[in-house]
Structure 1
Amino acid sequence: MDENALFIHHDKVMNYHFHDNHPFHPIRLQLTLDLLTEIGALDDKQKLQIIPATQEDLLRIHQPAYIDAVKGLSQTPPSPLWLSRAEQYGLMDEDTPFFPGMHEATSYVAGGTITAIEAVLSGKCNHALHLGGGLHHALSAKAAGFCVYNDVSVAIAYARHHYGARVLYVDTDVHHGDGVQWSFYSDPDVCTYSIHETGKYLFPGTGFLQERGEHQGYGACMNIPLQPYTEDESWMECFEQSISRLAMHFKPDLIISQHGCDAHALDPMSHMQCSMAIYNEMPSILHQLAHTYCGGRWVAVGGGGYDLWRVVPRAWSLLWLEMSGHPLKASLTQSNHSRLPEAWITKWQSQTSVELPSEWLDDLSLWDGIPRRNEITTKNRENLAVALQDYP
């Protein structure tokens, strides 16, 4: 496939930064940019500057009073009035505390995903990647789960409003993509899909099989809740079978995928046991589906991922290598042991106490097996069968 991909970025996205000890840290993006630059996979011709989201863009999803609250709490210092209302809008807890310049930073995040949508739907490129996006937990009038404005929902609403596009949203974050699901729960032209660790044990406690949409949108919502300690083979089996069936059924004009990489075994915020293999294989499936059903139209965004040093830069770089058709991607296999650039490791190793990985993919011969593998696989297959029962 002759690929034409754009990398959407603006330095102001790096200002989406709660505080230095917060797990959702923009250094993840800097590490990824540096890794891609080091291997010669990202040049200036492939970059597109972000235009921030407008008030009109945000209002398609978020309530006016909530936007006013975000603006008010972005001031230094906020007025006593807004401080008294911060908790009401989800901006006072440990997960999503307000911070100076929050409205502008988050408007650039939302604008980045809109910029990606516009680039693809206007025909400027086949694929567009905005790693600063993926804030899938934000609700219409409340921040949640590290997310202030829901850039994905705002961008999908933009695609619907300006292009009338049928959108398939694919969420591979380990946490359920609740905010996007609820934004379009009754919309038959936006199909939301999420594969995640079951909400029985993990935030946000939603994403169960019976959440299938409502009214005209019934059936345009699919959730694949996986058991804790799911490994690569079961994750990929459930993903490939479900997303292929759903795409064939829905026939979208555009695929938007969210690429939180927190299902990795090293991630501190989930209980999954996947390796870098799923982040190598899963984008290629989405890539093929985009060309099969959408004329190649594919927008991808970032998301969660809290092993900042060992997991996120590799996973997000693999996504860009797939989208841009870089030759390194085709050479990566479990037995190849392709090495990361020494210059990147040397540059960043002194800034972290964890040992940076030396290879693109994990050496699974060094991993211990999961004792309940058969039971976990069986339960995942049972859930998969239920999720697919209405899709011929």
Structure 2
Amino acid sequence: MKPLYVYDDALLKYRFNDTHPFNQMRLKLTTDLLTDAGYLNADDIVKPRIATDEELSLVHSEDYINAVKAAGNNELSSEDLAKYGLDSDDTPSFKNMHEKCAALVGATLTAVDLVMTNQTKKALSLAGGLHHGFSGKASGFCVYNDTAIACEYIAQKYGKTVLYIDTDAHHGDGVQWTFYNRKDIVTYSIHETGRYLFPGTGSATERGTEDGFGFAVNLPIDAFTEDESFLDVFKTSAEKVIQTFKPDVILSQNGVDAHYRDPMTHLSLTSKAYEEIPRFVSRMADKYTDGSWIAVGGGGYNIWQVVPRMWSQVWLAMKDIDAPSGRLPDHFIETYKEKCQVDFPVNWEDSLHDFTDIPRREEITEKNQTALDRILMYLNQ
């Protein structure tokens, strides 16, 4: 069964305003790059459905869903906008917000159903990955938390155990806290330490409560971590988590904001890491979950120089295609280079001409190894 790619232009409408850093144009750029390169065809693409209110309520409260609807129609008071987190710079309300957000959730659930009904083993919906949303409040560019909804949907509708893997530079707090006392949904997040970065959570001591104690796994890594250290601690810890909890399906969030060119974080990954991360997850799915893997997008705020090339690797990993090298498709370059106001990349791999050498490399690597050792110690208990 070939992998499937969930996409429709309607998903580009999730847009707070013209100056907001969350810009879904990155989704079209990625889709166009894959299409121009001959890696994505019309028969690979599945149009998404829209999530129902009942599906949204798997995670979000009824009063919050109603507030999002009202805010999208400019019918919510300033007091309630503040109460529900819909008036901040991160998550300002916008027209028809509920409908546009429900479309993103529906796209993720479409990918879930494709895998869980055995229409494919692997499905990708890059529009999703909004892992900061809470039951009753918007946060961190996220209104509805499609990733948490998808995990709950799998658990309730299909009765399967989910491993949620989050490689975004930011801690997947909204997903973690939703399932913090649960053992049927395991959350794993590797992220920049919260000492320097939003949301400030995700320490190794956050391990879950009640029945969920031990089922939340966090690997906070030091600022300016580079490829080698990241991949070493990620691969070792993630495979140990899979071996320990034996999930039925993997759902991965593929934020690419740990890239050294991303303007909002302090990590130093390159295209080398983003070629390997999804291929490793794909191998883990093949080895431990009979290939069952659902992937979504996430963070990534350099939409020209980073996101399209890095996100493309997730789809290529699903198709078991080696990471390409050399020049990007001429049609893609011709279409977008003149629209780009920064140095437009013309090759699949990073040129690294602007990569800054990290003076604390040995110290950073040691800190990350200590964080890994801590996780392995309690997983072995």
User: TM-score range with shorter-chain normalisation?
Assistant: over 0.9
Structure 1, residues 215-240: CA drift from partner, whole Å, max 9, x if none? 11111111010100101001101100
For 1:331 and 1:208, the matched residues in 2 are separated by: 33
Q: Does 1:272 align with 2:267?
A: yes
Contact 1:9/1:49 (<8 A) preserved: yes
Q: After superposing the two structures, state which structure 1 stretch, 243-252 or 361-370, moved more.
A: 361-370
For 1:242 and 1:185, the matched residues in 2 are separated by: 19
Matched with 2:364 is: 376
1:368 Cα deviation from its structure 2 partner: 3.6
Q: Does 1:136 align with 2:121?
A: no
Structure 1, residues 87-133: CA drift from partner, whole Å, max 9, x if none? 11001010000000110011010111111111101000010000000
Matched with 1:63 is: 61
For 1:149 and 1:365, the matched residues in 2 are separated by: 38
SS at structure 1 position matched to 2:266? coil
Q: Does 1:121 align with 2:116?
A: yes
Matched with 2:317 is: 322
Matched with 1:243 is: 238
Q: Does 1:94 align with 2:89?
A: yes
Q: Does 1:258 align with 2:253?
A: yes
Contact 1:69/1:82 (<8 A) preserved: no
Amino acid in the other structure paired with 2:72: S
Matched with 2:379 is: 391
Q: After superposing the two structures, state which structure 1 stretch, 6-15 or 62-71, moved more.
A: 6-15
Cα distance change, pair 198–100 in 1 and its aligned pair in 2 (3 A): same
1:367 Cα deviation from its structure 2 partner: 3.3
Amino acid in the other structure paired with 1:196: H
Correspondences of 1:150-165 after superposition (within 5 Å): 150-165=145-160
Amino acid in the other structure paired with 1:349: K
1:366 Cα deviation from its structure 2 partner: 6.3
Contact 2:313/2:323 (<8 A) preserved: no
For 1:388 and 1:108, the matched residues in 2 are separated by: 39
Matched with 1:12 is: 10
For 2:331 and 2:11, the matched residues in 1 are separated by: 26
1:45 Cα deviation from its structure 2 partner: 0.9
Q: Which runs of 4+ in 1 moved over 4 A?
A: none
For 1:151 and 1:15, the matched residues in 2 are separated by: 16
Correspondences of 1:344-383 after superposition (within 5 Å): 344-364=332-352, 367-383=355-371
SS at structure 1 position matched to 2:379? coil
Contact 2:260/2:355 (<8 A) preserved: no
Contact 2:237/2:376 (<8 A) preserved: yes
For 1:94 and 1:358, the matched residues in 2 are separated by: 33
Amino acid in the other structure paired with 1:236: L
Correspondences of 1:71-110 after superposition (within 5 Å): 71-75=69-73, 78-79=74-75, 81-110=76-105
TM-score, normalising length: structure 2? 0.98
1:363 Cα deviation from its structure 2 partner: 3.4
Structure 1, residues 232-273: CA drift from partner, whole Å, max 9, x if none? 001101100000100011111000000110000100000111
Cα distance change, pair 331–352 in 1 and its aligned pair in 2 (3 A): closer
Correspondences of 1:333-352 after superposition (within 5 Å): 337-352=325-340
For 1:244 and 1:331, the matched residues in 2 are separated by: 22
Amino acid in the other structure paired with 1:61: V
1:193 Cα deviation from its structure 2 partner: 0.4
Amino acid in the other structure paired with 1:42: L
Q: Does 1:145 align with 2:140?
A: yes
1:365 Cα deviation from its structure 2 partner: 7.1
For 1:120 and 1:271, the matched residues in 2 are separated by: 35
Contact 1:196/1:225 (<8 A) preserved: yes
Give percent identity, aligned residues only: 45
Contact 2:29/2:308 (<8 A) preserved: yes
Contact 2:9/2:28 (<8 A) preserved: no
Amino acid in the other structure paired with 2:167: T
Contact 1:254/1:297 (<8 A) preserved: yes
Contact 1:137/1:180 (<8 A) preserved: yes
Paired residue total:
380
Correspondences of 1:196-235 after superposition (within 5 Å): 196-235=191-230
SS at structure 2 position matched to 1:288? helix
1:342 Cα deviation from its structure 2 partner: 2.1
Contact 2:264/2:301 (<8 A) preserved: yes
For 2:288 and 2:213, the matched residues in 1 are separated by: 21
Query: What CA RMSD, in Å, does the superposition of the two structures yield over aligned residues?
Result: 1.2
Amino acid in the other structure paired with 1:37: T
Matched with 1:313 is: 308
Contact 2:262/2:300 (<8 A) preserved: yes
SS at structure 1 position matched to 2:88? coil
Structure 1, residues 37-72: CA drift from partner, whole Å, max 9, x if none? 101111111111111111111111001110000000
1:82 Cα deviation from its structure 2 partner: 3.3
For 1:121 and 1:353, the matched residues in 2 are separated by: 42
Amino acid in the other structure paired with 1:190: I
SS at structure 2 position matched to 1:350? helix
SS at structure 2 position matched to 1:255? strand
For 1:331 and 1:258, the matched residues in 2 are separated by: 20
Structure 1 residue ranges without an equivalent (≥5): none
Matched with 1:28 is: 26
For 1:122 and 1:207, the matched residues in 2 are separated by: 33
For 1:10 and 1:153, the matched residues in 2 are separated by: 22
TM-score, normalising length: structure 1? 0.95
Amino acid in the other structure paired with 1:52: I
For 1:321 and 1:348, the matched residues in 2 are separated by: 22
SS at structure 1 position matched to 2:164? strand
Contact 1:135/1:150 (<8 A) preserved: yes
